[in-house]
């Protein structure tokens, strides 16, 4: 069995991943994102055992979806929030992995025939197309449950009481965000809302749970593990709520404007399933403006943070400028 707790290694090319210490940072955002995603990638590889033994097929299915790429936006946000308040990358790396494992489980289950019934995800056949529905369902279950094992393993014997308390609060917040009060609850509202005429505030409520809750858990968890004060956590929550919604508005826009080839997943599916979306309620231009306004709101929430929050500012801009 491989180690559950990911270890922080420096990238192979030897780049220093810390943002510059003094003055305003002038980071190369593309490079920043690439390097952070690579760091997460390596740590994720240690979170699921290699496919061996009687349950080897399960580990293979878990690794198939977990290590299939993806933007790694949520884990990078967790790391960036931790660093924005002066924490180290190591302090949030387990959280980053746990969040990505939970996000990946939600994609595997969301693609199942009983949910969205999709054939393509992250540019490759969906989990159940390769491993069958039973193993895909169990791979999702394994990723969700093991995420909490990975996070809990961050509590070491040398952990201070303050760090242990922060970890406990982060675990509770993540369970809340992923469960019936958060992502799963949001998915239920979404499924039951198919074919129904939702108002804008109902759509926002749905997405605050289905998509937004995990963004909030990533950002607030990262900040908390980095030693954030209560006031800083409040600002981080405001930032993440605005960012999460902006991300979803763009997700809806990409569904109508992009292609399966670019996205690596089926597009034009919201209308086909009778789902109310931002473009269907507001039109394309007003939806895009809403996303920009939300990014401005996210930016404002960070006004009391110094240059160490620049990656968070850039990540918000990235969430609305992205093409996939």
* Least distance CB 16 / ligand GRG (angstroms): 26
Q: How far is the CB of 115 from ligand GRG (least distance, A)?
A: 6
Residue with tokens 């990723």: 143
Q: Which helix (H) or strand (E) holds 125?
A: strand 124-125
Cα 217 from Cα 237, distance rounded (Å):
9
Supply the minimum distance, in Å, between the C-beta of residue 94 and ligand GRG: 19
Strand partners, 120: 125
HSE value, Cβ hemisphere, 13 Å, CA-based, for 182: 21
**Cβ–Cβ under 8 Å, residues 95 and 225:** yes
**Contacting residues for 184 by C-beta, under 8 A, at least 6 apart:** 178
3-state secondary structure of 119: coil
CB of 246 to ligand GRG, least distance (A): 12
Please say which residue, 210 or 275, places its beta carbon nearer to ligand GRG.
210
Nearer residue to ligand GRG within complex by CB, 37 or 281? 37
Tell me whether residue 233 or residue 240 sits nearer to ligand GRG (CB atom): 240
Closer to ligand GRG by CB, 99 or 220: give it. Answer: 99
Residues interacting with ligand GRG, by CB under 6 A?
70-71, 73, 103, 106-107, 109-110, 115, 122, 183-184, 187, 210-211, 251
Q: How far is the CB of 251 from ligand GRG (least distance, A)?
A: 4
The residue (of 41 and 90) whose beta carbon lies closer to ligand GRG is 41
- The distance of closest approach from Cβ of residue 1 to ligand GRG in the complex, given in angstroms and rounded to an integer, is 26
Q: Which two tokens stand for residue 80?
A: 């960036």
SS3 120: strand
- Least distance in Å: CB of 243 to ligand GRG? 12
Instruction: Give the residue with the Cβ less far from ligand GRG, 8 or 122.
Output: 122
Element at 62 (helix H, strand E):
helix 56-66
Q: Which is nearer to ligand GRG, 104 or 235 (CB)?
A: 104
Question: Is 24:310 a contact under the CB 8 Å cutoff?
Answer: yes
268 membership: H or E segment, kind and range? none
Nearest to 72 by CA among 107, 117, 48: 107
């Amino acid at each position: 069995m491989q180690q559950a707790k990911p270890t922080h290694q420096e990238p192979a090319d030897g780049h220093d991943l810390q943002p510059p210490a003094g003055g305003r940072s002038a980071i190369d955002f593309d490079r920043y994102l690439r390097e952070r995603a690579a760091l997460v990638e390596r740590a994720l590889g240690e979170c699921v055992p290699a496919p061996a033994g009687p349950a080897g097929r399960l580990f293979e299915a878990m690794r198939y979806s977990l290590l299939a790429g993806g933007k790694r936006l949520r884990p990078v946000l967790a790391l960036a929030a931790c660093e924005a308040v002066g924490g180290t990358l190591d302090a949030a790396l387990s959280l980053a992995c746990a969040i990505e494992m939970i996000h990946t489980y939600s994609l595997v289950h969301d693609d199942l025939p009983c949910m969205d019934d999709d054939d393509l995800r992250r540019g490759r056949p969906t989990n159940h197309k390769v491993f069958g529905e039973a193993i895909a369902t169990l791979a999702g279950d394994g990723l969700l449950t093991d995420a909490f094992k990975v996070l809990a393993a961050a509590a070491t014997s040398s952990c201070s009481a303050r760090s242990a308390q922060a970890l406990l609060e982060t675990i509770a917040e993540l369970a809340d965000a992923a469960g019936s009060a958060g992502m799963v609850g949001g998915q239920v509202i979404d499924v039951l809302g198919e074919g129904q005429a939702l108002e804008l505030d109902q759509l926002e409520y749905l997405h605050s749970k289905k998509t937004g809750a995990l963004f909030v858990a990533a950002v607030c968890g990262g900040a908390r593990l980095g030693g954030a004060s209560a006031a800083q956590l409040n600002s981080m929550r405001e930032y993440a709520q605005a960012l999460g919604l902006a991300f979803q508005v763009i997700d809806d826009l990409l569904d109508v404007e992009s292609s399966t080839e670019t996205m690596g997943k089926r597009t034009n599916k919201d209308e086909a399933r009778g789902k109310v979306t931002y473009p269907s309620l507001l039109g394309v231009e007003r939806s895009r403006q809403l996303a920009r306004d939300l990014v401005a709101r996210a930016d404002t929430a960070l006004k009391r943070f110094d240059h160490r929050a620049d990656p968070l500012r850039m990540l918000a801009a990235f969430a609305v400028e992205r093409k996939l």
